[in-house]
Amino acid sequence: MSFTNFTQIQQSLESGDISLSDIVQSYIDNIEQNNDEINAVVSIDKENALERADEIQQRIDDGSAGKLAGMVIGVKDLICEKGKQTTCASNILSDFESVYDATVIKRLRSEDAILLGRLNMDEFAMGSSNENSIYGPAKNPHDTSKVPGGSSGGSAAAVAANYCTASLGSDTGGSIRQPASYCGVVGLKPTYGRVSRHGLVAFASSFDCIGPLTNSVDDAARILETIAGPDPNDNTSSSRTVPNYTKYTEDPDSNIKIGVPEEYFGEGLDDEIREGIQNKLNELEQSGAELVPIHLPHMKYSIATYYILATAEASSNLARYDGIRYGHRADIEDVEQDLKEEQEALEEQIKQAKGDAKQELVDQLNDMDSSLIRLYKKSRTEGFGPEVKRRIMLGTYVLSAGYYDAYYAKAQKVRRLIKQDFTEAFEKVDVIVSPTAPTTAFDLDSNQDNPVQMYLNDVYTTSANLAGICGINVPTGTHSNGLPYGMQLMAGAFKEGTLFNAAKLVEQLD
């Protein structure tokens, strides 16, 4: 059993051809049969999902069901669900169980969506390949020797592998859109503040956005209608009214202006992807769209700016995981035993030393970390993976005395310039187009020893997060290597309706 989109599910349910419990069971069966290879799902709640299916089926039958009745959704493992483990794919939170629901979870349930399982991800959403996970790497359903992208790789792979109707991911620098491109699905990053972050475990608080990954633009619009809106638990959420986004996909207006920035189509972009996107743009132009060449002069600084600011915020956010209040805690007895042995060894050396050498050893003994500091260090050393440690160190460095002005303060100024570039561009065009990623999905393990190359996979996506605007990946074609690739569309802040309109035009070209 396989459905292309939610509309097909609704039609089947309304006609009585199938029951909702049958649909849920088909997803469960698919996960149990194939997930060992893909590794997109880290846990499923079969019993609760089937119970919910029966309850919602009754509401469907009597006409009182919510607008997402029949939609089965997977959730990235950093969005809190009460009573469920929320590990962020990290050992530091391997035993953490959420005590409340994120706002987006409450809103999905209120419209009768069924939440089926928790999905794999890069640890604390830090990565572009979904290889940094205590659960092991997720794999691309189109070719299991390839990565699904990251950090929402499990969310993209789950939709592409037909493990769920849709999924929730998070996007800090492209972590929804890039894996959506690699896996051939739709991936939406809303405007910053459009969707509440309450219940989302923070990576970089001024960048993080929750958004859907789906098989169609219509489904993404439906989900955003449900999860968007103000939230008293998140002071950064916008108080703006949530439009009816699905109306923008019902009869999209082809008379739009599409900005084509030269900076996004230069060196480093795969030739087939460039040609495929250009062909789509030509078709859009023939159907009534106007292609407008534009210039985004500060885009070349986006990767450097993003990784300075995002790592700085990450180092601050992750300081709370100290092994004392909550999270993984090292064995205190081992810590105290190691400290005792080191102290005794130094005391023995002091007895035999003389003069300056003796004083140096005394100073060394007096300067030894306490057992509490050692517990803190060992807990974090054991709890965090190498990529998270790398970003904590980078962030601490750019915030340190003597480097703050040279790096962090300067990056904030460049962020303002990048935002200004987009503001000026959107005075001339409705949407801006770019590739979503420079290549199709790359081989597993191919970039693990080259973090800079890994970071460059976000070259086209980070600018939208820096500017706080909305962006979407729309599947665009299949490369000669057999892998999908996508095109990214971006619109101004809170212009998701315009974005959906353009995305639907692209989708209709297939």
What DSSP string runs through 160-229? HTTSSSEEEEEESSSTTHHHHHHHT-EEEEPPTTTB--TTBPPSSTTT-EEEEEESSHHHHHHHHHHHBS
Question: Can you tell me which residue has the tokens 């619009």?
Answer: 221
For 338, other C-beta atoms within 10 Å of its C-beta total 13
Q: Of residues 90, 167, 175, 181, which has the active-site annotation?
A: 175
Amino acid 196: pLDDT: 98
Tens digit of each residue's pLDDT (9 = 90 or more) over 62-120: 999 999 999 999 999 999 999 999 999 999 999 999 999 999 999 999 999 999 999 99
Amino acid 476: pLDDT: 97
- How distant, in Å, are the alpha carbons of 19, 182, 357, 359, 379 from that of 174? 36, 12, 55, 54, 30
Structure tokens at 414: 């460049």
10-residue mean pLDDT series, the chain (510 residues): 86 92 97 98 97 97 96 98 97 95 98 98 97 98 98 98 98 98 98 98 98 98 98 98 97 97 94 98 97 96 97 96 87 90 90 88 87 91 96 97 95 98 98 98 92 90 98 98 98 98 95
Q: How far is C-alpha 390 from the chain's CA centre?
A: 19
Can 175 be counted among the known catalytic residues? yes
Can 287 be counted among the known catalytic residues? no
Q: Tell me the three state secondary structure of residue 139.
A: coil
Q: H/E element holding 240? A: none
Residues 19, 37: Cα–Cα separation, whole Å: 28
Phi, psi (deg, nearest 5) at residue 209: -140, 140
Amino acid 427: pLDDT: 98
Burial bucket for residue 29 (CB in 10 Å: 0-12, 13-18, 19+): exposed
Can 151 be counted among the known catalytic residues? yes
Cα atoms in the 13 Å half-sphere on the side-chain side of 116 = 31
Closest to 212 measured CA to CA, from 158, 249, 252: 158
Q: Of residues 151, 167, 216, 302, which has the active-site annotation?
A: 151
Amino acid 417: pLDDT: 98
Q: H/E element holding 435? A: strand 431-435
Amino acid 452: pLDDT: 85
- How distant, in Å, are the alpha carbons of 235, 257, 258, 429, 509 from that of 254? 37, 9, 10, 13, 12
Amino acid 2: pLDDT: 74
Region at 11 (left for phi over 0; alpha for psi -120 to 50; beta for the rest): alpha
Q: Of residues 76, 189, 378, 495, which has the active-site annotation?
A: 76
Question: Can you tell me which residue has the tokens 């290597």?
Answer: 481
Q: How far is C-alpha 188 from the chain's CA centre?
A: 10
Residues 255, 229: Cα–Cα separation, whole Å: 29
